[in-house]
Amino acid sequence: MGSKPRKTEPSLDDPHWLPAQEEYKLLYQRRGHSKLASLDMNKALASGRVRCMRRNIESGDPEPLTREFWAHRELVAHATASFTRTRDGPDPVGFVYFLWHPDVEKVWPALRQTDDETAPVRAKPGPKPKDDWHTLIAQWLIAVAVDDPKRLRNVDTLVVEATAFLDDGIEWAPSDRKDLRKKLVELLILVRR
């Protein structure tokens, strides 16, 4: 039984394309074993039930990957990265792989279901946060730590710099700097020794 042809393919810049390693982590948690998670993911790719695309790290150019692409390849996903390989070894590196999340939800509907005790707490009233600013701040803080670890010592300066980073990047920052400071301190606890 083949899969039905799709009427339209999604835009390659649609936000529903999620990094393969994010989807893999959820599948791994549900399957309880990395090999089982990889087998299930690659079967879904090869059958065309889950669409995939990759972006070139150098140029940023997106490329949709067909089920024929997966006929002799497998996606190897880990918690922090993903790559492809054939029987002869790894393919060229320099790509980031993305899965079409609506397909993932259709194939594995229970992946993102949470228990009541792990459900997110309702957000405070006020301006709605833009994008995933917590993740952006974590990424920015990693770059700061790599570039100049001494900058991590002054939280007050980091709050000002992080506000400017968010304003420049997504044109939004928390209206109350205490929220941003709290997130930075929370992340710094994990970084400092």
Q: What is the pLDDT of residue 130?
A: 58
**What per-residue confidence (pLDDT) applies to 116?**
40
Whole-number Å distance between alpha carbons of 43 and 135: 30
Contacts of 56 (CB under 8 A, 6+ apart): 63, 94, 95
- Model pLDDT, residue 1: 47
Amino acid identity of 16? H
Q: What is the pLDDT of residue 53?
A: 94
Q: Report pLDDT for 28.
A: 82
pLDDT at 26: 84
Per-residue pLDDT of 61-80, as tens digits, reads 999 999 899 988 888 877 66
User: What is the predicted pLDDT for the residue at 48?
Assistant: 93
- Segments of the chain scoring below 70 in pLDDT: 1-7, 79-80, 112-131, 191-193
Q: Distance (Å, rounded) from C-alpha 99 to C-alpha 177? A: 35
CA 190 to chain centre: 20
Type of residue found at 24: Y
